[in-house]
Structure 1
Amino acid sequence: MSRQVSKDTGAELAVRQLLHAAGLRYRVEYPVPGMPRRRIDIAFTGAKIAVLIDGCFWHGCPQHATYPKANAEWWRQKLDRNMARDRETTEHLIAEGWTVLRFWEHEAPEEVAVRVGAAVERRQTERTRGRRE
């Protein structure tokens, strides 16, 4: 497992490239506030938007998840813990006022980038309105 890519995956790089080309600036591998050893793949800190791109195998994609047959019980527990940790992280970020956007690695990077860009724009508009009032 130590050889598994945990950051800068192909899906993350493709989305980041599109976001950067669209003029959006972000933080990479940003620490989850108040949760040690957890990171946000792409973070828009000013807008408080967390983008997480989950691998189908490691995070239990409903379309593509598979479970190894060798040592099956250990793998089941491992993958279930990953999914529970994902839920806990999402709940924590929402409680801290973040908007959490989760995507699967198989989703088209162009569609992901469009949805992220729209969320960032919405949040910036909300913040601008709040300052004027």
Structure 2
Amino acid sequence: MINFTDSVGAGDPFAADLLRGHTDTIVLGVLRGADRYGFEIYKAIRDATGGQYEIKEATLYASFRRLSRDGLVEGYWGDESQGGRRKYYRITDAGRAVYRRDVTAWRATQRIINTLLDLEEDPR
């Protein structure tokens, strides 16, 4: 489950649904910069949005399972030199290609929605 809070109010279900459909792409985007373990990914997403968007642990790990199954990320165990053993995730070349495709699709969708919303606001 994704928690979402915006300036309008907490738990806006429409905004949460929009974000929920892009969880895998968001995770791929975070992994483009560096390999990370689960809590690092959670923090990166939370911090990038000023705490407005947080992915629940179950949602994040379901995303890891889908992305791993589809060959878009690879998991590996880190060493124990910094405390407990952590599972890290890295994006694959296929994951980078899917990320680029998804971002292109999002931008096209965003243009269409923006156009339609602007038409609705037209006072004519």
Tell me whether the two structures share a fold, i.e. TM-score over 0.5: no
TM-score (norm 2): 0.31
TM-score (norm 1): 0.29
